[in-house]
Amino acid sequence: MEVKIISKELLINEEIREKEVRLIDSNGEQLGIVPIKRALELADNKQLDLVMIARQAKPPVCKVMDYSKYLYELSKKEREARKNQKVINVKEIRFSPNIEEHDMSVKARNAEKFLKDGDKVKVTVRFRGRQSDYSKNGQNLLKQFAERLSAVGDIEKEAKLEGRNMIMVMKPKKA
């Protein structure tokens, strides 16, 4: 009987080097502490694998099971878990400190759409030349922007000047 090593953390069949193991039957029934040869014979008679499931226990715990079926079930659970994860993207909206009112409302509508979709929004005010001397204007703009979106989003990271940009991050409100 040829044994393939698929998973590094679980030892199966002849890879188990212990003298005695605590054996669990394929039905989940405890058979007590048995010599490794006896455990391998039981698994071979049922045409199943002997898998060490708890290496650190004294004596180690082994279970008689179909190893390939076990790996398949594990991968199935992993795929299911991955499918249920929600990926949160960060969308960025940029404008300058002298943005017009209409342009600001268009940007706010786009940000509202992003927040409703469950994405975070990074709002950036870009300063050019001497505009950064009037960073208070940028802070006021970001406050106004946050107030417009207060129905659908909360501020996650307050407005902060980083180099020539003032950045604020908003997250969607919990429903």
As beta bridge partners, residue 50 has 64
Domain annotation covers residue 2: no
3-class SS of residue 37: helix
Owning domain of residue 56: 11-72
What's 108's domain CATH number?
Answer: 3.30.110.10
pLDDT tens, per residue, the chain with 175 residues: 444 444 457 777 777 888 888 888 888 888 888 888 888 888 888 888 888 887 788 888 888 888 888 888 888 988 888 888 777 889 999 999 888 999 999 999 999 999 998 899 999 999 988 887 888 888 889 999 999 998 999 999 998 888 889 999 999 987 6
Domain annotation covers residue 80: no
Do residues 63 and 49 lie in contact, with contact meaning Cβ atoms separated by under 8 Å? no
User: Are 165 and 110 part of one and the same domain?
Assistant: yes
Residue 83, H or E segment: helix 67-83
Instruction: Specify the pTM.
Output: 0.53
User: Are 54 and 96 part of one and the same domain?
Assistant: no
